[in-house]
Amino acid sequence: NAGVTQTPKFQVLKTGQSMTLQCAQDMNHNSMYWYRQDPGMGLRLIYYSASEGTTDKGEVPNGYNVSRLNKREFSLRLESAAPSQTSVYFCASSRLPDSNQPQHFGDGTRLSIL
């Protein structure tokens, strides 16, 4: 059981480069989320997709775009990477977009921007 799969696991970029982080879940979940975790801090929500066809901004959306490609896949794009976006990125999914639903997380993508 793969659960939530994120690719790549590690990436180094130069300032100004673009890249897309991929996320796929095989649990037939409706809702998907992107978080970032900076050193010594908890996770902060970047964007989320409550259901297929919808996306909404979270707490820290600036510099990012997302695409809910289908029910399984939710990608995060950095159009012009900045050193402040160096972080660990987590994708998560839940069965429904409700406050009683636990989220299941991928293993994270460690992104460094030089």
Binding site for other proteins (CB under 8 A): 31, 33, 35, 40-45, 48, 50, 56, 58-59, 88, 90, 92, 94, 96-108
Whole-number minimum distance, CB 16 to other proteins, in Å? 27
Please list, in sequence order, all residues whose beta carbon lies within 8 angstroms of the beta carbon of residue 13, skipping any fewer than 6 positions away.
19, 78, 81, 111, 112, 113, 114
Cα–Cα distance measured from residue 11 to residue 5, given in angstroms and rounded to the nearest whole number: 16
Q: How far is CA 99 from CA 31, 57, 106, in A?
A: 12, 17, 20
Cβ-based nearer residue to other proteins, 25 or 94: 94
Q: Name the pairing type of β-strands 10-13 and 109-113.
A: parallel
Nearest approach, Cβ of 10 to other proteins (angstroms)? 11
Amino acid letter, 14? K
Nearer to other proteins, 17 or 97 (CB): 97
Nearest distance from residue 70's CB to other proteins, in Å? 19
Quick one: 96 or 114, whose CB is closer to other proteins?
A: 96
